[in-house]
């Protein structure tokens, strides 16, 4: 790979993004100035939050401008260093976006440290998605032995760890995902106590059957019809860490028709706790514990994870669009070089 590529936002999507909302741009590989490092991206992480960055709307982060490089975290190799702390061949991670190379000051980079686990885990189970699961459960969910924990998108990088952490706390873990293949994986590999296919017509009934004692923790990363199925089952004092709502990201749709009233009334009548969060707010207090706890569990295979790796930066838009409708199976990564 001798030329540089980057993917920019060509236009703002209305509803589900299409390939026309993205544009591939190519050019010469940049050079590192003094104090900079030249990076070659090895893996780009694709995550649902990126959909929000494509909107021109107020959120916890500013949107990507039209013509701006799509945001995203990568694992990259230092090709050339003009900074005293780095040298050729170092593996780093950072939010440099959807591009093959970048010449940057290393201020916002950190070395990949996965304790002997594969470098890709720095973008998944030992990275932002893993920490989202870990901190949301530790700070907000707080599952207790014998309680029932439900999570959707449960074969994905956040959900799969939520379920396994729930079981490590002595709770029952119920996973929801789309299709028999993901459900089989959750049952056979991740060892969820029960699995629910959200594409099945009887999803609400199947969920109710799997939760005879109700739901004590619902880790919310989906919303829409799954939230509606969860709502009547939530026990008094249930906790709802909410880090994402992939069913709502593409704007008005079936999810938009849901009644606010039933959710609010349930919150009040059952003393529910809902707390939106983004993993970064818990970094100072919990990131060191996360790495200390998780690295050995991942290394010995006690915590399992699955990656869905697509080759080539040019395929990132299509893979990203597919992820928003659940076509990925495991942590979605683009192998860039």
Which of residues 139 and 299 has its CB atom nearest to a copy of itself in the complex? 139
Q: Does 68 bind a copy of itself (CB under 8 A)?
A: no
Tokens in use for 317? 């838009």
Question: Does position 259 bind a copy of itself by CB under 8 A?
Answer: yes
Residues 72-111 that bind a copy of itself (CB under 8 A): none
Residue of 189, 252, 302, 315 interacting with a copy of itself (CB under 8 A): 252
What are the structure tokens assigned to 15, written together?
């509803």
One of 10, 11, 30, 52 touching a copy of itself (CB under 8 A): 52
CB of 38 closer than 8 Å to CB of 80 = yes
Q: Report the distance separating Cα 96 and Cα 108, nearest Å.
A: 9
Contact residues for 242 (Cβ-Cβ < 8 A; gap 6+):
220, 221, 274, 275, 276, 277
Among 34, 107, 260, 301, binds a copy of itself (CB under 8 A): 260
* Residue 311 contacts a copy of itself per CB under 8 A: no
Taking CB under 8 A as the binding criterion, the range among 91-99, 204-212, 268-276, 328-336 that sits at the site for a copy of itself is: 268-276
Q: Which tokens belong to 48?
A: 């649902």
Give the CA distances from residue 336 to residues 19, 59, 149, 188, 332, in Å, rounded to whole numbers and listed in that order: 18, 29, 36, 31, 13
> For residue 78, which phi and psi values (nearest 5 degrees)?
-75, 115
* Candidate residues 3, 15, 33, 60; the one interacting with a copy of itself per rule CB under 8 A: 60
Taking contact as CB under 8 A, which single stretch among the options 99-107, 184-192, 251-259, 325-333 is the one that binds a copy of itself?
251-259
Q: Is 70 in the site for a copy of itself (CB under 8 A)?
A: no
Q: Kindly state the number of chain residues that form the binding site for a copy of itself, as judged by CB under 8 A.
A: 37
Distance CA(150)–CA(172), nearest Å, equals 8
208 binds a copy of itself (CB under 8 A): no
Residue 50 sits at φ, ψ, to 5 deg, of -60, -25
Q: Is 129 in the site for a copy of itself (CB under 8 A)?
A: no
Nearest to 25, CA basis, from 9, 46, 1 = 9
Q: How many CB atoms lie within 10 A of CB 222?
A: 28
Segment near a copy of itself (CB under 8 A); pick from 92-100, 129-137, 177-185, 264-272 = 264-272
Binding stretches for a copy of itself (CB under 8 A): 52, 58-60, 220, 223, 227, 236, 242-245, 248, 252, 255-256, 258-261, 263-278, 281
């Amino acid at each position: 790979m001798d030329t540089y590529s980057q993917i920019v936002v060509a236009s703002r999507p209305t509803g589900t993004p299409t390939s026309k909302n993205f544009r591939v741009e190519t050019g010469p590989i940049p050079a590192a100035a003094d104090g900079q490092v030249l990076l070659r991206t090895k893996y780009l992480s694709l995550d649902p939050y990126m959909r929000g960055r494509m909107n021109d709307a107020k959120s916890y982060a500013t949107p990507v401008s039209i013509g701006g490089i799509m945001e995203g975290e990568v694992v990259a190799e230092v090709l050339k260093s003009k900074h005293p702390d780095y040298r050729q061949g170092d593996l780093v991670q950072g939010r440099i976006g959807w591009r093959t190379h970048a010449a940057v000051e290393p201020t916002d980079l950190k070395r990949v440290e996965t304790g002997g686990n594969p470098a890709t885990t720095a973008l998944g189970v030992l990275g932002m998605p893993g920490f989202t699961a870990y901190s949301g459960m530790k700070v907000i969910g707080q599952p207790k032995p014998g309680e029932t924990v439900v999570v959707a998108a449960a074969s994905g990088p956040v959900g799969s760890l939520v379920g396994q952490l729930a079981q490590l706390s002595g709770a029952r873990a119920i996973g929801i995902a789309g299709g028999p293949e993901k459900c089989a994986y959750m049952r056979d590999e991740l060892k969820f106590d029960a699995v629910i296919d959200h594409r099945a017509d009887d999803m609400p009934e199947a969920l109710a059957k799997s939760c005879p004692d109700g739901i004590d923790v619902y880790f919310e990363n989906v919303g829409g019809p799954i939230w509606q199925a969860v709502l009547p089952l939530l026990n008094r004092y249930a906790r709802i860490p909410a880090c994402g709502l992939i069913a709502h990201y593409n704007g008005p749709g079936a999810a938009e028709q849901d009644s606010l009233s039933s959710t609010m009334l349930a919150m009040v009548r059952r003393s529910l706790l809902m707390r939106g969060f983004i993993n970064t707010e818990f970094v100072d207090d919990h990131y060191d514990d996360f790495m200390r706890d998780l690295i050995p569990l991942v290394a010995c295979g006690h915590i399992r994870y699955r990656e869905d790796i697509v080759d080539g930066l040019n395929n990132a838009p299509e893979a990203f669009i597919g992820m928003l409708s659940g076509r990925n199976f495991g942590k979605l990564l683009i192998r860039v070089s």
